[in-house]
Amino acid sequence: MLKNYLEIHPEVEKALKEGKPVVALESTIISHGMPYPRNVETALNVEQIVRDNGAVPATIAILKGKLKVGLTKEEIDYLGNTKGVIKTSRRDIPFICAKGLDGATTVASTMIIAALAGVKIFVTGGIGGVHRGAQETFDISADLQELANTNVAVVCAGAKSILDIGLTLEYLETNGVPVVGFGTDELPAFYTRKSGFGVDYRVDSEAELAKAVKAKWDLGLQGGMVIANPIPEEYQMDYDTITKAIEDALKELDEKGVKGKESTPFLLAKVKEITGGASLESNIQLVYNNARVGSKLAVELAELSK
């Protein structure tokens, strides 16, 4: 039955069969998270970094209604360069499939498709979370619910302060999702290494991380894990600059009445515009950094699972 929906790239399929490390990558970051052509360039570089660190990259998207695990260069270019690719979260998947449409997958839907294919480790930039003002708007990313239920570990650079980081952590705690700091006691805030919030566990090596990931699923503890890897020092943004940019972006979001699935892409684009592109450079570098850690984690996990 699954075969009617799922198309795994032969290289990825072979690696999975042989128990080799595979790293899932999302596609909303390509279509809605960064401008062309930097998005495509970044996506291809990330795939190369995964390879250089001993794993096979599997960029995930929905193309003509098929759930694709592993894309060609042409497909990545298409996603980055085509208007009207739909930002696809859990609720959207059945309709994108049924109508044969193209969908860029968020953290939530990438986790779903990775899990269907048997990919355990997923690298991205930032996860969605509880938005500021969620007490009024109820805007809570479906990414959090997916982390509660789907067995994929997500390597990211923490939670962006376009979100309410404190409430995001509360939500994850309630749902039993471990939040791990990679080499840090403090949750990184995407563009900056510090957020003022602690993590649940600090882990200093990929090998140690792999043991915890394995133990979680060996014990049948359903759900994912957030592995928060701070942006390298030399690429982090000035705290006051980024805070001001985010506040201005949030104000404009409010004035324009932007809501629902448009909120996150709107805020990302605004922050980039306000910072004159500096946030984009940081964003790209933190994804590269996550790709290095995620690939090494996949290698360690494959080794442990032999």
Residues that bind ligand PSU (CB under 6 A): 26, 28-29, 33, 106-107, 125-126, 128, 141-143, 160, 261, 264, 268
188 binds, among ligand PSU, Mn ion, none (CB under 5 to 8 A by kind): none
Residue 13 among the catalytic residues: no
Residue 3 among the catalytic residues: no
CB of 263 to Mn ion, least distance (A): 6
Total number of residues that touch Mn ion (CB under 5 A):
1
106 binds, among Mn ion, ligand PSU, none (CB under 5 to 8 A by kind): ligand PSU
Pairing of strands 66-69, 56-63: antiparallel
DSSP state of 85: P
Residue 201, judged by CB atoms within 10 A of its CB (0-12, 13-18, 19+), counts as: middle
287 binds, among ligand PSU, Mn ion, none (CB under 5 to 8 A by kind): none
- For ligand PSU, which is the closer residue by CB, 54 or 166? 166
Pairing of strands 225-228, 179-182: parallel
Under the binding rule (CB under 5 A), the answer on residue 92 touching Mn ion is: no
Under the binding rule (CB under 5 A), the answer on residue 300 touching Mn ion is: no
9 beta partners? none
Stretch touching Mn ion by CB under 5 A, among 52-60, 86-94, 108-116, 137-145: 137-145
Under the binding rule (CB under 5 A), the answer on residue 139 touching Mn ion is: yes
CA distance linking residue 6 with residue 31, whole number of Å: 21
Listed in sequence order, the residues at least 6 apart from 52 whose beta carbon sits closer than 8 Å to its beta carbon are: 295
Query: Alpha carbon 194 to chain centroid distance?
Result: 19
Helix, strand, or coil here: 161? coil
Stretch touching Mn ion by CB under 5 A, among 15-23, 63-71, 132-140, 193-201: 132-140
Nearest-CA neighbor of 156 among 290, 296, 292? 290
* Choice among 68, 87, 120, 160 that is catalytic: 160
Residue nearest to ligand PSU (CB): 33
Q: Which residue in this structure is represented by tokens 């915890």?
A: 212
What residues act catalytically?
26, 160
